[in-house]
A and B are shown apart, each in its own frame.
Chain A
Amino acid sequence: MLKPKIISEILNQVLSTSINTALLFSQEGSLLSYATNKYNNIGSPVLVSLKDPSEPSKMIAAISSNVWSVYKNNCSLWFNQQNQNQQNQDDTLNMIFLDCEEGKVIISQAGKLLVALVGNNNTEIGLLKIKMNTLVNYFNNSLQYMGADN
């Protein structure tokens, strides 16, 4: 059986002074597990005033899953059309990196679920990618049966 507490502990291991939130969520956008530390830079004053500490993570999960589905459904198709005559027709989406003015987000797929890491501006894309790859490899086996088939 899946032990939710352990998932949160694994997510916690990714965190550092520059990477402050790690989330695991479904492709529909519902949050399964999250870990965050005191360097957290997300959460607008409106959200901080809410009593639920998972509120910013829930919002990131919802928005990230939507962005993932937009790029997976629209743009993968476009790349596949380009390669119709070639062998590489399965140009699947592996990772999305969002660079914002006050932080960076990376999203990837582990099994049928999605993982996201949120960092501040001091973090670099290479570090985020390596950490994400390690996390995805770790989760891939154990989470392959979790989540909806789409």
Chain B
Amino acid sequence: MDIQKEFDNIISKTQGLQAIIVSDKDGVILIQSTNPAFSLNNIDSSLSTSFAVACDQIGKIGLSKNKSITTFYKYHQMIQFNYNPLIITFIADKNANTGYLLNIGNDFEKPLSAIANSIVNSENNNYNNKQ
């Protein structure tokens, strides 16, 4: 799968980047790529659901829609992009280049919009079939 290869490629080329995860807002993982040295054994849906909750609330601040949330922890940083209905999560070391990660995250908008659209369409079809 091309996008998986692309993710692996980005991880191997980017210093400090440990994982890229594409999931939906319920925490179901669609694509996942990790650095072999980084253990991602029990990734839990709390990462995505926290983001979905936070995104909804930030929309009410008065600065229009939320694009991304970057959280800096003592040893890690995590960048999450809101490409509704998809969420991309980058997990990196604290020393990784945040500006660069934000830039590559923005580049994913177009390739992922195809997947996002097909999800929205299938949801609409299901809804119409039920009616």
Contact = CB atoms under 8 A, between A and B. Distances in A.
Contact of B58 (A63, A78, A93): A63
Interface residues of A, number: 42
Give the interface centre of B49, B64, B70, B73 by most chain A CB atoms within 10 Å: B73
Interface in B19-63: 39-40, 42, 44, 46-47, 49-50, 53-54, 57-58, 60-63
Interface in A100-134: 100-105, 118, 125-126
B57 A67 contact: yes
Contacts of A59: 60-62
Interface residues of B, number: 33
B62 A96 contact: no
Given A71-B71, A125-B99, A98 B66 contact: yes
Contacts of B53: 70
Interface in B47-97: 47, 49-50, 53-54, 57-58, 60-76, 78
B87 to A, nearest CB: 13
A99 B47 contact: no
Interface in A30-56: 41-44, 47, 56
Give the interface centre of B47, B63, B75, B98 by most chain A CB atoms within 10 Å: B63
B73 A101 contact: no
Contacts of A93: 71-73
A54 B64 CA distance: 19
A81 B99 CA distance: 27
A82 B102 CA distance: 24
Contacts, number: 111
B60 A79 contact: no
A95 B71 CA distance: 6
Interface stretch (A1-9, A10-18, A84-92, A137-145): A84-92
Contacts of A71: 50, 54, 71
A90 B74 contact: yes
A54 B60 CA distance: 16
Nearest to B81: A99
Nearest to A93: B73
Contacts of B65: 100-101
A137 B3 CA distance: 43
A95 B98 CA distance: 13
Interface of B: 39-40, 42, 44, 46-47, 49-50, 53-54, 57-58, 60-76, 78, 98-99, 102
Given A56-B62, A102-B63, 11 more contacts: A63-B57, A70-B50, A71-B50, A82-B40, A93-B71, A96-B71, A98-B58, A98-B68, A99-B67, A101-B65, A118-B63
